[in-house]
Structure 1
Amino acid sequence: MNREALLPRAALAAFFVVLLVATAAGATTSPTTYSAYNSDWDGTSALRERAETATGAEPVAVSTRAYDRADAPSTLAVVVAPSSSYTTAELATVRSFVEGGGVLVVAADVDPTAANDLLAGVGAGARLDGRPLRDERSFFRTAALPVVRDVRDDPLTRGVDELTLNHPTAVEPNGAQVLVATSGFAYLDDERNALLDLEEDMRSYPVATTERIGDGQVVTLADPSLFLNGMADRSDNAQFIDNLVTARETTILDFTHGATVPPFVVALGIVQRTPLLQALLVGAAVVAVSVWAFAPDLGARLRGRGLGSTRGRRPHRRSTVGADAASLRASLRRAHPDWDDASVERVAAVVAQRLTDARRDRGD
């Protein structure tokens, strides 16, 4: 194949490579806040990587069926900022997981409706208040980022002396054990005006609780921002996250009702759980490679036997100078009677060679 024909094909191949890379990046990442596939400050990719390193498996669940497949006594599940409520069937699945010995961590802040529905559905007593929690004495940069230092002894708080929160709410224990609480100078901003009003009560508020449900445990957190990439290095947040993801042999990150999971990840999860689909994809790949490897020879054989398709082909136009040397010479003499025999022979040879080259390039 000559260079002129090769360059357009190379350009087209480069275009498809760029398109494939761009499509793959879009299908495996997400810009959504709290997404485990968002590597910016407001994503939770660091949480996913920690969980994957600790347990040696992809931790993100694409459906609540992950709870059915899990070995509950050796599994911890983290629900991060759910934005829609679980169905009755899904709640039954999660409750069965907890009662069977699983640990469920529920983290939500100023829109706690879906999280509170989940807590009620699994039989937990704790609830999230929903009003912004501020601390005028112990904070990072602003009272909306409380630094909490009232940390009770528990395996989940091992090595944790303080946590830095980001626009949290408070947890109403309702009988649950308090793990972490604010200083006595915190208040719930009922008016949402960033001011301590007369009717707002300044005191210590719980921000993390734990309680037993059946053979399992439910941990309620007043701030999912603990898991954000941009907050992981504040105070002892990273140690607290490590305590969570290493508490059991397996960790599930449940974003099924929160941040979106990229489509490629969803598709990959379906393939991994479907042996028949895996076999079909492998078979399709084998066929594709075989066609790619043998198609050129197959096409040449079909053309040689007259079996190739003629659709779209342009019929060859016979040259006005003929196909053989005698016809070429005769045509040249008629067109140029003033040429001598040597000139006619030389031009006829050049024209015949160019016709041969053109036919070879067309595959004739």
Structure 2
Amino acid sequence: MTVREWLRDGEGLDWPRVLLAALSTTVVVALLVAAATSSAAFGPYNPSWDGTSELRQQTASESGAESELVRDTARYDDYEPNETVAFVVAPDETYAGEDVDRIRRFVDNGGTLVVLENFGTNGNRLLADVGAETRTDGAVLRDEQEYYRGPTMPVATGVENHTYTEGIDQLTLNYASALETDEEEATVLVRTSEYAYRDVNRNDELDGNETLDSYPVAAVENVSEGQVVVVGDPSIAINAMIDEPDNAAFLQRLSADADHVLIDLSHSEDLPPLTAAVLTVRELPLLQVLLGAAGIAGIATLSRRRLRPSLERVRTRLSRRNDPTDAPIAVPSGDDVDERRAAALRDRHPDWDEDRVRRVIAALNRDDMEPDDQ
């Protein structure tokens, strides 16, 4: 029975079944969406305003660059550092132990680490552990003159001339934090306007101990053989802000010369279950082989089930051809019947000549052709 037949009754559509099918489809789709998406802030599979799904898609679509979502810092060792850029966006947990050692080794050997952080402490601890001097100061930056939708969304127009800022005129910020950096050791990439101030007590006002100034919000410094880029606003990467001038272009410039782009999720909230399963398969070649073998076995089993009825029909036909009991009964022709009758007459009446035998046979044939009397 086909689905179409199942949905119909004798007079038309069977509406209870139609509604059941629609409800079942809706539930399945909702479960798939829930299993493949996330609601975590800064999550690469969170399609809402505070997710970074657009950043993930942007890095995946960059021509000539291979992108990967890293769930284990051991993956840093699988890439050539001087060809790789790694993004760490507002980590939820502190990097420690082997995780720090791997990232430090990645930077020491020529890798580029980009840390986007504003008020969290985990980003600053990672910066210290890899040997960088720049930190985020944790105070909200406000600008009463140069802003997007409000003073807490400053437009940073102080863009310095650098490879990472080529073609960039501004960054559009959202609850950003200024950077504490030694400008003899680091190069400031972007600053706010001169009307910005650090709202230390977060009372939304410029107090006597708060100073108007042009504050750095993005900087780069050399650490051993590598580089560390610090941005005081992870919000430039979220879906609601990445398309504002010139956030997407700036993020793209940071990895423009890289062959590999890593988005480090090792210390962020867990991924959606379906996405986590897919990434696990991608990361484990042996599991890919096992799943491929299982898929081939499943297809072969289904194929055998579908072929079995056909093979049975062919086998039955062949057996019937070879079985003499099932052979078709040959119907004798008219000439054969006449010859048999003639032979019987000659055996019974050897004294009859051939003409008489033929006359008797002709008479018998006429009798066979006449209808029975009713």
Q: TM-score range by the shorter chain?
A: 0.7 to 0.9
Q: Corresponding residue for 1:129?
A: 137
Alpha-carbon distance in 2 for matches of 1:108, 1:32: 16
In the TM superposition, what is the alpha-carbon distance from 1:267 to its structure 2 partner?
A: 2.1
1:64-143 correspondence runs (5 A): 64-111=73-120, 113-143=121-151
Q: Among the aligned pairs, what percent are the same residue?
A: 38
Alpha-carbon distance in 2 for matches of 1:207, 1:44: 20
Match of 1:170 among 178, 184, 187: 178
Q: Corresponding residue for 2:320?
A: none
Q: Corresponding residue for 1:195?
A: 205
The amino acid of 1:159's aligned partner reads G
In the TM superposition, what is the alpha-carbon distance from 1:29 to its structure 2 partner?
A: 1.4
Query: Deviations 1:67-86 (Å, cap 9, x if unpaired)?
Result: 11111111111111112101
Pairing 1:151–2:159 present: yes
Alpha-carbon distance in 2 for matches of 1:230, 1:290: 48
In the TM superposition, what is the alpha-carbon distance from 1:177 to its structure 2 partner?
A: 1.9
In the TM superposition, what is the alpha-carbon distance from 1:19 to its structure 2 partner?
A: 5.1
Task: Say which SS state the counterpart of residue 266 (structure 2) adopts.
Answer: coil
Q: Which runs of 5+ in 1 are unaligned?
A: 302-364
How many correspondences in the alignment? 300
Q: Corresponding residue for 1:241?
A: 251
1:1-364 correspondence runs (5 A): 20-54=28-62, 55=64, 57-111=66-120, 113-174=121-182, 175-295=185-305
Q: Which runs of 5+ in 2 are unaligned?
A: 9-16, 312-374
In the TM superposition, what is the alpha-carbon distance from 1:253 to its structure 2 partner?
A: 1.0
Q: Is contact 1:75–1:252 with CA below 8 Å preserved after alignment?
A: yes
Q: Quick one: structure 1 residues 281 and 187, their matched pair in 2 at CA, closer, same or farther if it must change by over 3 Å?
A: same
Task: Say which SS state the counterpart of residue 128 (structure 1) adopts.
Answer: strand
Q: Quick one: structure 1 residues 190 and 287, their matched pair in 2 at CA, closer, same or farther if it must change by over 3 Å?
A: same
Alpha-carbon distance in 1 for matches of 2:190, 2:33: 39
Alpha-carbon distance in 1 for matches of 2:113, 2:23: 47
In the TM superposition, what is the alpha-carbon distance from 1:7 to its structure 2 partner?
A: 6.1
Task: Say which SS state the counterpart of residue 143 (structure 1) adopts.
Answer: coil
Alpha-carbon distance in 1 for matches of 2:4, 2:153: 64
Q: Quick one: structure 1 residues 20 and 69, their matched pair in 2 at CA, closer, same or farther if it must change by over 3 Å?
A: farther
Q: Is contact 2:87–2:262 with CA below 8 Å preserved after alignment?
A: yes
Name the Cα RMSD after superposition.
2.9
Q: Is contact 2:66–2:259 with CA below 8 Å preserved after alignment?
A: no
Task: Say which SS state the counterpart of residue 188 (structure 2) adopts.
Answer: strand
Give TM-score, length-normalised by structure 1: 0.75
The amino acid of 2:189's aligned partner reads L
Query: Deviations 1:74-131 (Å, cap 9, x if unpaired)?
Result: 11111111121012210100011111111100001122x1001100110000111111
Q: Quick one: structure 1 residues 4 and 53, their matched pair in 2 at CA, closer, same or farther if it must change by over 3 Å?
A: closer
In the TM superposition, what is the alpha-carbon distance from 1:235 to its structure 2 partner?
A: 2.0
Q: Is contact 2:154–2:172 with CA below 8 Å preserved after alignment?
A: yes
Q: Is contact 1:156–1:247 with CA below 8 Å preserved after alignment?
A: no
Q: Quick one: structure 1 residues 18 and 56, their matched pair in 2 at CA, closer, same or farther if it must change by over 3 Å?
A: farther
Q: Is contact 2:220–2:230 with CA below 8 Å preserved after alignment?
A: yes
Alpha-carbon distance in 1 for matches of 2:301, 2:5: 22
**More deviation, 26-35/287-296:** 287-296
In the TM superposition, what is the alpha-carbon distance from 1:58 to its structure 2 partner?
A: 4.2
Alpha-carbon distance in 2 for matches of 1:172, 1:131: 11
Q: Is contact 1:50–1:245 with CA below 8 Å preserved after alignment?
A: no
Alpha-carbon distance in 2 for matches of 1:96, 1:193: 42
Alpha-carbon distance in 2 for matches of 1:109, 1:216: 23
In the TM superposition, what is the alpha-carbon distance from 1:266 to its structure 2 partner?
A: 2.3
Alpha-carbon distance in 1 for matches of 2:89, 2:3: 56
Q: Is contact 1:135–1:187 with CA below 8 Å preserved after alignment?
A: yes
The amino acid of 1:81's aligned partner reads A
In the TM superposition, what is the alpha-carbon distance from 1:224 to its structure 2 partner?
A: 0.6
Alpha-carbon distance in 1 for matches of 2:137, 2:152: 16
Task: Say which SS state the counterpart of residue 201 (structure 2) adopts.
Answer: coil
Query: Deviations 1:144-170 (Å, cap 9, x if unpaired)?
Result: 011111111111100111111001011
